[in-house]
């Protein structure tokens, strides 16, 4: 997976590659899809959510440019796979999941794997986690119509946000760096994510 799907497509951050090699992706799958865990595709995670394609996980993580001591907010815990990759690379990970059943399953999975630097919340991720802000990195694992203002407020000066922006059926990955209180935006690859739900997401999903 790392050689063919990541390195061959231009992922160069050695820390990201090492984390992707360490995290056992098959443990984040429902049983019927465990045998396909290392395939080059997104897979169902239950509750109408997906485990993102390995390449997309790597791209979004690489965009953050993590060095190891950052406090990172993840919006959309899902299966917990992206959460685990972030936990390998950052000092602290704060993760929010909209769906209680997914949140509980992900927490159980990540606790069993021994991750001690993850904090969990169930609720509206588009509102962020103000009590834990500021964050040096924010990663949103769902497509949003626009960047939620609370996430901009909670991003630290010099911090980076990775978020899919666009209509429901097609987005582009936005890398946004906060400088002097404003976002410096840079668009990357096209992608398709499940919709971000909440006050600053899609309301009728």
- Sort 17 into a burial class: Cβ within 10 Å, 0-12 / 13-18 / 19+: middle
Instruction: Look up 52 and say whether it is catalytic.
Output: yes
Give the position of tokens 């865990």. 37
| 3-state secondary structure at position 164 | strand
- Asked if 143 contacts 192 with a C-beta cutoff of 8 angstroms, the reply is yes
CA distances from 139 to 1, 2, 42 (A): 22, 21, 17
CA distances from 140 to 1, 30, 112, 173 (A): 23, 22, 24, 10
Helix spans in 65-183 (H): 81-89, 100-112, 149-154
In the set 39, 52, 79, 126, the catalytic residue is: 52
Catalytically active residues are 52
């Amino acid at each position: 997976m790392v050689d063919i799907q990541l390195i061959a497509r231009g992922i160069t951050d050695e820390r990201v590659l090492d984390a992707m090699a360490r995290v056992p992706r098959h443990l984040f799958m429902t049983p019927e899809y465990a045998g396909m865990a290392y395939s080059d595709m997104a897979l169902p995670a239950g509750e109408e959510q997906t485990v993102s394609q390995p390449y997309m996980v790597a791209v979004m993580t690489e965009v953050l440019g993590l060095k190891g001591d950052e406090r990172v907010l993840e919006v959309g815990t899902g299966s917990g796979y992206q959460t685990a990759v972030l936990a390998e690379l950052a000092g602290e990970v704060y993760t929010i999941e909209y769906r209680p059943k997914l949140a509980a399953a992900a927490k159980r999975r990540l606790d069993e794997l021994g991750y001690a630097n993850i904090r969990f919340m169930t609720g509206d991720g588009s509102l962020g986690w103000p009590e834990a802000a500021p964050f040096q990195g924010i990663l949103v694992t769902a497509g949003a119509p626009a960047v939620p203002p609370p996430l901009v407020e909670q991003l630290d000066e010099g911090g980076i946000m990775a978020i899919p922006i666009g209509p429901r059926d097609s987005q582009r990955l936005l890398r946004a760096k906060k400088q002097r209180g404003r976002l410096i935006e840079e668009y990357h690859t096209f992608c398709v994510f499940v919709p971000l739900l909440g006050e600053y997401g899609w309301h009728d999903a």
